[in-house]
């Protein structure tokens, strides 16, 4: 009598949503005797590698911290380079993103961006809105505290207008006022360059995220580093406040 093979344990699932704080461009450049702007150029290429790696490794949502609201304090030349890189990659990569099934969206306060950058962002979001292979979110001029205050202000306006009773406000209703309320909360937050802090990124959303800190500088980040972080994630026991059995 033949016997059916014993069922094999399924591989642990990849995290649905990975968020990355892309840190270390300046230090990468300084260690090589290069200007900081060269670190940003190299770091922009690492973004492409992370998107490709996320698709291949089964991640369905990827959020990258591209430019914080505090980054406007940097030297004017550096900001100009960063904005130029944003323009360049939005123009160059849009066709590829659309072809590969990547949806692109931007979160953050857009009022400080120039009209041409706003137009490029809106065009990219519109062209890729129906894509489902990877949901790629870029945080630009973004701050986690500012996002929470913005949500609170919008809810307060609704309460004053009589459209919302304070007693009806709960976590789910609050989350509806965040920049991208349809995004699932990140399962995994990665920060590169060895720093171990959150830096005002997705403060509401990462309440139960697993944190992985990597010593690699962002310009050197590749699919192998992403894969290693996913393996560490799979090895962790996520209990969400419950008791492990």
Chain segment 43-93, per-residue pLDDT in tens: 999 999 999 999 999 999 999 999 999 999 999 998 999 999 999 999 999
How many other C-beta atoms are found inside a 10 Å radius of the C-beta of residue 211? Answer: 15
Residue 239 lies in a domain: no
Domain of 213? 19-234
* Count of the separate structural domains present in the chain: 1
Is residue 14 a part of any domain in this protein? no
Residue 195 marked as a ligand binder:
no
Q: Is residue 6 part of a domain?
A: no
The answer to the question of residue 245 being in a domain is: no
Give me the active site residues, please.
23, 71
Q: What is the CATH number of the domain that holds 121?
A: 3.40.1180.10
Beta strands in the chain (DSSP E): 17-21, 61-68, 102-107, 134-142, 188-191, 210-213
191 is in an annotated binding site: yes
Contacts of 14 (CB under 8 A, 6+ apart): 57, 58, 59, 230, 234
Kindly state whether residue 12 falls inside one of the protein's structural domains.
no
Over residues 183-237, the pLDDT tens digits come to 999 999 999 999 999 999 999 999 999 999 999 999 999 999 999 999 999 998 8
Q: 2 in a domain, yes or no? A: no
68 marked as part of a ligand binding site:
yes
- 36 annotated among ligand-binding-site residues: yes
Q: Does this model's pTM top 0.85?
A: yes
Residue 242 inside a domain? The answer is no
Domain contains 240: no
């Amino acid at each position: 009598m033949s016997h059916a093979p014993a069922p094999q344990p399924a591989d642990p699932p990849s995290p649905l949503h990975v968020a990355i704080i892309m840190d270390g461009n300046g230090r990468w450049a300084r260690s090589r005797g290069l200007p900081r702007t060269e670190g940003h150029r190299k770091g922009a290429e690492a973004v492409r590698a992370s998107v490709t790696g996320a698709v291949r490794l089964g991640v369905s949502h990827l959020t990258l911290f591209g430019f914080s609201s505090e980054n406007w304090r940097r030297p004017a030349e550096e900001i100009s380079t960063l904005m130029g890189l944003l323009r360049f990659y939005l123009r160059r990569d849009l066709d590829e993103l659309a072809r590969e099934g990547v949806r692109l969206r931007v979160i953050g306060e857009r009022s400080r961006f120039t009209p041409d950058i706003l137009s490029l962002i809106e065009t990219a979001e519109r062209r890729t809105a129906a894509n489902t292979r990877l949901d790629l979110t870029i945080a630009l001029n973004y701050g986690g505290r500012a996002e929470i205050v913005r949500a609170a202000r919008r809810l307060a306006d609704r309460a004053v207008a009589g459209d919302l009773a304070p007693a009806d406000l709960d976590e789910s209703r609050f989350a509806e006022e965040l920049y991208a309320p349809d995004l699932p909360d990140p399962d995994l937050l990665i920060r590169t360059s060895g720093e171990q802090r959150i830096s005002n990124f997705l403060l509401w959303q990462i309440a139960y995220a697993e944190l992985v800190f990597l010593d690699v500088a962002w310009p050197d980040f590749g699919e192998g580093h992403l894969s290693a972080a996913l393996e560490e994630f799979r090895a962790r026991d996520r209990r969400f406040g419950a008791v492990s059995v």
